[in-house]
Amino acid sequence: MNIEFIEALEEMAKEKGIAREDLYEAIRKGLAAAYQEEYHTEAQVEVEINPNSGDILINGKRIELAKFGRIATKKAEETIRQEITRKRREIVYELYAHRVGEIISGSIHRFEGKDVWVNLGEAEALLPDEERIPGERYHAGQRLRAYLVSVERTQGDPRILLSRAHPEFVHQLLRIEIPELEEGILVVRQIAREPGRRSKVAVESLDPNVDPVGTCVGAGGARVRVVTRELYGEKIDLIRWSDDVEQLLRNSLEPASVLTVELDEGSRRAKVLVPDNELSLAIGKGGQNVRLTAKLIDYDIEVTSPSEEKS
């Protein structure tokens, strides 16, 4: 009876990825709880198990599980299952907690309203509606890549949160496609993003012989095109980084030319003057270009032209 019981638990633990020693610790706790239930004691109980013979010693005495009553046996089973579940949850937490900030892959498992649950293999992760790229459509079984935002312990399974709308998703996708980013030759300094529409990515080169923008774009735009495809057609503007706010602003508004810039560091406001015929280019469709530039430099920006100044 003992050996069959242990073998059945070993099989269950194997399916759940539980180490043998962790399993036996769970069995010891379960048998201790059963013994206390059977003999109505709260005294400390020492349990020894021989995994080869199935012999179980409790407080130095050999015990047959078959002699435990129904309630005590149930207590043992419940305790062991609880311990195995607790250990499995801890394994899942440890497996994914150190991967926060990375891109992970899975397949869409189910939907709850507009929220998407993704099967990662060892666990299930949540892609909330607000972390989806607007306009993207998904179907069950579809493979999906996303940015791992956080892993939190809960009373149940760990809560694993994914995002495809996070600015860091763009960053990590670029790292995959651009070896110079992974090697540290290039560094992404700032990202301003409107998911599914456009991102501005400010990049700096730590090697004076490497052009940050051209390297990221790639021959014929090949590198950045892969990222755009992953992001549901989102446009990626690569911008040369500068520690000087005015220069970064000018770089971000390209190809529009900037005549003058007035910065108020106290209120973090900028007034930008551009040629009359480039006003709409600087502002962008629906104000998108200037809006993303404002996010990038963390200033409120007013864009105007000479004719507007006169009126």
Dump pLDDT digits (tens) for 70-103: 877 788 788 888 888 888 899 999 999 999 999 9
Q: Within this chain, do residues 21 and 71 fall inside the same structural domain, yes or no?
A: yes
The verdict on 253 and 279 lying in the same domain is yes
Q: Is the domain of 176 the same as that of 159? A: no
pLDDT value of residue 258: 96
Q: Are residues 78 and 9 in the same domain?
A: yes
Q: Which of 97, 118, 148 is the last residue of a domain?
A: 97
Residue 63, classed as helix, strand or coil, is coil
Q: Are residues 12 and 68 in the same domain?
A: yes
The CATH number covering residue 38 comes to: 3.30.1480.10
CATH number at residue 226: 3.30.300.20
Q: What is the pLDDT of residues 229-287, one digit of tens each?
A: 999 999 999 999 999 999 999 999 999 999 999 999 999 999 999 999 999 999 999 99
The answer to whether the beta carbons of residues 253 and 293 sit under 8 Å apart is yes
Could you report the per-residue pLDDT of 168-211, keeping only the tens digit for each? 999 999 999 999 999 999 999 999 999 999 999 999 999 999 99
Residue 120 is part of a domain; what is its CATH number?
2.40.50.140
Indicate if the pLDDT at residue 35 is higher than 60.
Answer: yes
Tokens encoding 63: 């015990």
Could you give the number of structural domains in the chain? 4
- 247 in Cβ contact with 293 (< 8 Å): no
Work out the average pLDDT over 162-167: 98
Say if residue 6 is in the same domain as residue 88.
yes
**The dihedral of CA 220, 225, 227, 228: what is its sign?**
positive
Assess whether 139 and 213 both reside in one domain.
Answer: no
> Are both 120 and 87 inside the same structural domain?
no
Do 93 and 107 share a domain, yes or no?
no
Assess whether 159 and 236 both reside in one domain.
no
**Above 70 in pLDDT, residue 2?**
no
Residues 184 and 234 occupy one common structural domain: yes
For residue 309, name the pLDDT band (cuts at 50, 70, 90).
Answer: confident
- pLDDT value of position 1: 47
DSSP state of 258: -
Domain residues for the domain of 310 are 249-311
Nearest residue to 99 via CA among 121, 84, 130 = 121
Domain end call among 187, 215, 241: 241
Given 97, 117, 138, the domain boundary residue is 97
Residue 119: how many other CB atoms lie within 10 Å: 15
Per DSSP, the three-state class of 266 is coil
